[in-house]
Amino acid sequence: MAVLFERVAIAGVGLIGGSLALAAKRAGLFGHVVGLGRGEANLRLARDRGVIDEFTHDPVSAARGADLLFLAVPVRALAPVVRACATALAPDAVVTDAGSVKGAILAAVEGELPPGVAFVGAHPIAGGEQSGAAHADAGIFRGQVCVLTPGAAATPAATAKVRALWEGVGMQVVEMDARRHDEILARVSHLPHVLAYALMNAIADDTAFTFAGGSFRDFTRIAASPADVWRDIFLANRVALRTALAEVRDAVDAFDRALAANDEASLVALIEAARARKRRCDDGGA
């Protein structure tokens, strides 16, 4: 494939930033890649592994002449990074990200961009609990879905380049409105994280953990997810998340009412409805 971006600045060379750099280099989509970050050891490791070509702690050096700025930092760090990089970018640069919330990021980032620089929000739905360049893996995107939420200032050309990038690393790209993205992700990602954290907090006595089986460990795997990342996501998507919380509370209350009434038929109906959705989910959604 032809090089899409000659000079790339990657802010945050963690699991996602590092994996995209690796995958895009391997696919011939990136020319020179500069890593921008704070952690010296992580950046050095990324360079030594060939994830990036060089690194810096200085946003202006990283962004100088870059035709792509890829933001792979926690949600609240995005706007400050864009602000610090903006004027050094190439005149027709494209900015994209990998944030799990799109509306708040769009609102925060678009105001920081100079004319001619387009922001095309992206959410590659990939990754895991691991973090850091040490876990960068070119294969994590393949076959997964990436949502693009181009904002008002995104040109069709910029959106097409960002689409080509994510498709080039093997993702299935879907464009949608940022608000709709946030409503969906509130339900299939942010809500399960709240429930997993809440379940851990509801278990007052550690002795119980001795009797936790494999299903509990799978269910609470995401309760290990880092606080800074999820604080930002929860707050940036708080309106949709609170709506989703109210919906799951209603769904839990339906079980509680059936239990209170010893109502077998309702209980079976609730379980079978959930199982039917689970089967449709495992079949890949609608």
> Judged by CB, which is closer to a second copy: 152, or 205?
205
Give min distance, CB of 81 to a second copy, in A.
19
> Judged by CB, which is closer to a second copy: 115, or 284?
284
Q: What single DSSP character describes residue 2?
A: -
Give min distance, CB of 172 to a second copy, in A.
9
Give min distance, CB of 125 to a second copy, in A.
5
Whole-number Å distance between alpha carbons of 8 and 207: 50
Give min distance, CB of 249 to a second copy, in A.
7
Whole-number Å distance between alpha carbons of 54 and 44: 9
Query: What separation in angstroms does the CA of 84 have from each of 58, 73, 204, 282?
Result: 9, 14, 45, 43
Residues in the chain: 286
> Judged by CB, which is closer to a second copy: 30, or 234?
234
Whole-number Å distance between alpha carbons of 168 and 161: 10
Give min distance, CB of 165 to a second copy, in A.
19
Whole-number Å distance between alpha carbons of 75 and 108: 10
> Judged by CB, which is closer to a second copy: 1, or 200?
200
CB neighbour class for 132 (10 Å; exposed up to 12, middle 13-18, buried from 19): middle
> Judged by CB, which is closer to a second copy: 60, or 196?
196
